[in-house]
A and B are shown apart, each in its own frame.
Chain A
Amino acid sequence: MRPIISVLSALVLVVLAVVPFAAPWLQFVLTLAMANGMVALGVAILLRAGLISIGHAMFFAIGAYCIAFLSRLGINEFLVLLVLGTMGSAIAGLIVGAFVVRYRAIFFAMLNLAISMVVYSLIAKMYSVTGGTDGMALQTPTFLWIPLEKPGFDHVLYYFSVALMIVLGYLVQRYWKSPLGYALSAIEGNELRLEYLGVSARSVLLAAYVVSAALSGFGGVIAGSAIGHVLPDFGYWITSAQFVLIAVLGGIGGAAGPFIGSFFLELLHSASVNLTDAWNLITGVALIVVIVFLPSGLYGLIRKRRRSAS
């Protein structure tokens, strides 16, 4: 790791550590940013294979609704909810992935969108089960079976999310540098050659899809727990598009990219809503600027592309 990146990483960690004390209003914003960053990281995994999913909000929603149902059943320990919610999303990812990994390009994107809209409609219309558009409220979970008040839990959730973000970012980075990660990139690079090397591109992609769904599940559990309420909008296509936006904004050159994009977008949102109603306009302009001037995303600012460095 280059010294500047080490210093920057240390600085970011210090800032994240003091936020709940220095700027308490930011704690909730950043918790959501980390949750969204996890989903965007899942989207970024598929982007490495050259595939865009405009449907990953469904796994985000599935993770969130899983813990809402479990909470209704009386399971209220956060770590258990996290594991089961993520497993719910991963299993859903396996089922959906088995179907969509056969497709490429626009067909992959549209199929994900279509399936996610089916999931959204089911959540929104099955009022007696899901609460329809009213959503489902969550009890404040325990943490390590210790009962906490909501402010205390939010505090713990924030630090837990920071730790989880680091662990997931590290694991995904390792995955991208592994043979399996290179095989994933090779799907975009030359799928024919990959098959002639004896590698099943579909299997490689299915594994990536399940991982990306699981990451979305992590995001859904954390967002649901932070908000204390889950809504069908968690699975709406605009939410999916936002995750793609975050991944592109942050860049997919490294696992830190989607988190950088997510922090940037949440902070930009928070800052601009105080100035104008048209915060979407500001977001749109920011995206145009990044696409035109930073093709590697915001991550490209701190990490030069390997090609230009070599």
Chain B
Amino acid sequence: MSHPLLEAKDLRIAFYGVTAVDGITFQINEGEFVAIIGPNGSGKTTFLNLCSGYLKPDSGEVCLDGISITAMAPRSIAHRGIARAFQIPQLFLDQTVLDNLLIAMAAKQGIWSWFESLGAGRRREEAMELLALVGLQDQAGQFADALPEGKRKLLDIVLALALKPRLILLDEPTSGVSSIERFALMETLMKALRQAKVTALFVEHDMEVVQRYSDRVAVWDAGRVLVQGPPSEVFKNAEVLHKVVGV
């Protein structure tokens, strides 16, 4: 039986009087792939920012394995097993794809080595294996700023995976990616996540992607959870169809 990995308890945050997250209580179980959908401005990304320590809530609590991580900085939360990929990929653009990944792996293994080379030991081999897993091995020597958007997204996700997280937060993994590449990217991503046994929470606008790849869908509206459940049930809900799908 799975147990709650991440729990948000009555989370609230407002910006200049505008409530972005309004008393959200939500949990993610170990091994789940959970999608968050909702109209623009419904607080989806803000929720990820609260869970990853980028924002501190006005009230409420975020717990990982029952321990509060609410007041922690992003780096402390990363150490505890939550990694983040961004809507706009956050890469080291002036470094090669391989070096980007090696930096992430070194960050996991301990950055405080002054005189060992970045690709020392088995780190380079492991990095190449991880790149091969997502099909980026041929771009290893390419500079990150030369990658097309889809591959940048993948690299951003791989940087998060290099931390060997228990939970990965993905903000619109398919945005900016062509419809042809979208499912290929998701297939690659799901394969990598399953292989690494990582729980995933992802914000997504593409309903087909959500239906195909999530175990559970949570619908956000005006900073609240409108409804949640298996995709097959949620997408039958008339309010969801009206507010999110636009039918």
Contacts and interface: CB of A to CB of B under 8 A. Distances in A.
B104 A197 contact: yes
Contacts, number: 95
B114 to A, nearest CB: 5
Label chain A's interface by main secondary structure: helix
Nearest to A184: B111
B200 interface: no
A308 B11 CA distance: 50
B75 A171 contact: no
B115 A178 contact: yes
A283 to B, nearest CB: 30
Contacts of A190: 90-93
Contacts of A200: 75
B99 interface: yes
Interface residues of B, number: 38
Contacts of B162: 197
A193 B141 contact: no
Contacts of A193: 90-92, 159
A199 B84 contact: no
B106 A196 contact: no
Contacts of B107: 179, 183, 194, 197-199
B131 to A, nearest CB: 17
B92 A189 contact: yes
Contacts of B73: 195
Contacts of A83: none
Contacts of B223: none
Contacts of B117: 177-178
A201 to B, nearest CB: 9
B116 A179 contact: yes
17 contacts: A171-B115, A175-B115, A179-B111, A179-B116, A180-B114, A182-B95, A183-B111, A185-B92, A190-B90, A190-B93, A193-B90, A194-B107, A195-B74, A195-B75, A198-B108, A199-B111, A307-B143
The 7 closest A-B pairs by CB, nearest first: A179-B106, A198-B78, A197-B107, A193-B90, A189-B92, A174-B115, A198-B75
Interface of B: 52, 73-76, 78-79, 83-84, 90-96, 99, 102-104, 106-108, 110-118, 141, 143, 159-160, 162-163
Given A175-B114, A179-B113, A198-B78, 12 more contacts: A178-B116, A179-B110, A180-B111, A182-B99, A193-B92, A196-B74, A196-B75, A196-B78, A196-B90, A197-B159, A198-B107, A199-B75
